[in-house]
Structure 1
């Protein structure tokens, strides 16, 4: 007789196959749409154009964002699509943390650079923009 609370292991030979989630789902669609709406209503590109030369924080943030997007494109386009390496995070373990750190640092720099424009709404506007970018990139790979 098995001890109290012991449940025998069930056979794992017959496992349910889970269907992967579609790349474009309600969650990613919401963030992409929200990003488009915010871009339109706050004149995002006009504001960026007007404030680009006034703050070095903006230039640093842009460089960090470019670094982050470059690494993401390298992972998705080259490693996954061209070379067929699906577990690039296992083969190249530093790529994901470096990309994440650069992306977060870019967000901080952009918040500092644009704080005088939108004040306390700046983190909300930029977070919506960043989430839209992340969801758009996730559609690729």
Structure 2
């Protein structure tokens, strides 16, 4: 019927835009020898240790030492414990989903692009992480005031860079 015709027209239009976009990309690319395929990019990752990695790890260690991060997390009575516990649960969800993707899907199942096979995982993980970071900021605000987001961001980047060295 009319619905099938509209779907066919949309598919034709989409394919035409796709062809035109591919043509434009080829026309604007200076040379094919400079262009790398996705497989080549996957096969040749950027070096793990670079100045950004070192900077964030050193910054994280420095912040941990300077603000006595671990002692404050364990002993400070000004922390809003309900918000902190909510943050821990949400962070646990993020880490569980990440471990599921990395360990189970990539290592055991051999699925490299799991976001295509399981499209709900990235938005759930992102939402849980954003909610966790908000919870931790609320929980730790009485301890470090307006420095809290900066401290938590530095710690997050240090952990991410350290994990990137392991993988």
Report the TM-score when normalising by structure 2: 0.69
- Larger proportion of helix: 2
Q: 1:68 aligns with which of 89, 94, 99?
A: 94
| Residue 108 of structure 1: aligned partner | 134
Q: Helix, strand or coil for the counterpart of 2:92?
A: helix
Number of corresponding residues: 135
TM-score (norm 1): 0.81
1: CA distance, partners of 2:150 / 2:119: 31
Distance in 2 of aligned mates of 1:82 and 1:118: 42
Give yes or no for the alignment of 1:44 onto 2:69: yes
Instruction: Quote the residue 1:130 is aligned against.
Output: 156
Deviation at 1:94, TM superposition (A): 1.1
For 2:109 and 2:49, how far apart are their aligned partners in 1? 24
State which structure, 1 or 2, has the greater radius of gyration over its C-alpha atoms: 2
Relative to 1, partners in 2 of residues 1:105 and 1:54: Cα closer, same or farther, differing over 3 Å? closer
Aligned Cα root-mean-square deviation (Å): 2.7
Deviations 1:1-56 (A, max 9, x none): xxxxx9x8488588455542123332223222211211111111111112477520
Residue pairs, 1:14-93, within 5 angstroms? 15-16=35-36, 19-51=44-76, 54-93=80-119
Report if the CA contact (8 A) 1:79-1:85 is conserved. yes
